[in-house]
Amino acid sequence: MNRSPRVRACWLGSTPYREAWDLQAALVSAVRAGETDTLLLLEHPHVFTMGKAASPEHLLWDQDELARRHIDVVWSDRGGEATYHGPGQLVGYPIVDLARLGLTIPGYLKKLEESVIDYLQELGIESEPGGPGLTGVWHSGEKLAAIGVKLNRSVVSHGFALNLTTELANFDGIVPCGHVEKRPTSVEAVTRKKVDTESAAREYAKHFERVFAIEVSWEALGSIVKVTA
């Protein structure tokens, strides 16, 4: 009987975007060299990230307003346009070898969406993938989770950002994902309930495990970092 592929999961807590970006890059190299796939779960301090399809016009606030709100801006190597990350948002960065999982990029993105949708269903929220030209996970025409990935040969990085108790007003500083007419929402806005980010991470990992038919094992950051050293 074949064993399910193993994926290490790690809760990073609040981690600056650039620090998590560097960790992802190191893990991509490690996975390409044969190390075990990894699922990083975390939240970021306030930051606007601008993907490969973003343009300066997608950033609506000037430097004074960004400084007043303590929001950093990072031009990223992920796909997609502009998005916001901040406290109360669950961010998931799977660094996985699609060849090991027997997946194409479209198949991977479909399963990533499905894992988030399944978790939201656990919270009593009906959601669905975006329509034509729209990525992420949506509820009643509003975006609950953004998705943007990067492929390095067969290894994928970056991932999703799910709004739990996110301060939605901060999305006013960008054209989110290139669609000015589309608005974000959050688990708190939909259910009037607050969900702790770490608790959400540990529950979400169960859905990631089921949807991708893999075995998740939780590990401390120290053991993850040793692999990249």
DSSP 32-85: HTTPPEEEEEEE-SSEEEE-TT--GGGB-S-HHHHHHTT-EEEE-SSSSSEEEE
User: CATH number of the domain that 122 lies in?
Assistant: 3.30.930.10
CA distance 141 to 138: 6
pLDDT in tens, 80-103: 788 899 999 999 999 999 999 999
pLDDT band of 176, cuts 50, 70, 90: confident
Q: Which of 44, 71, 68, 70 is nearest to 59 (CA)?
A: 71
For residues 205 and 216, the answer to whether their CB atoms sit within 8 Å is yes
Instruction: Tell me if residue 10 is catalytic.
Output: no
Q: What is the mean pLDDT of the chain?
A: 92
- Could you list the residue range(s) of the whole structural domain that residue 67 is in? 6-228
Per the structure, the count of domains in the chain is: 1
CA distance 229 to 88: 30
pLDDT at 1: 46
Is residue 101 in a domain?
yes
Q: For residue 136, which phi and psi values (nearest 5 degrees)?
A: 95, -165
pLDDT at 189 over 80: yes
Is residue 1 in a domain?
no
pLDDT at 222 over 90: no
Percent of the chain with pLDDT over 90: 79
Structure tokens at 87: 């406290």
pLDDT in tens, 38-73: 999 999 999 999 888 888 899 999 999 999 999 999
Helix (H, G, I), strand (E, B) or coil at 199: helix
For residues 93 and 157, the answer to whether their CB atoms sit within 8 Å is yes
For residues 43 and 73, the answer to whether their CB atoms sit within 8 Å is no
Q: How far is CA 109 from CA 10, 42, 47, 158, in A?
A: 21, 20, 24, 12
Is residue 16 in a domain?
yes
The residue from 47, 54, 145, 177 that is catalytic is 177
Is residue 30 in a domain?
yes
pLDDT in tens, 101-146: 999 999 999 999 999 999 999 999 999 998 887 889 999 999 999 9
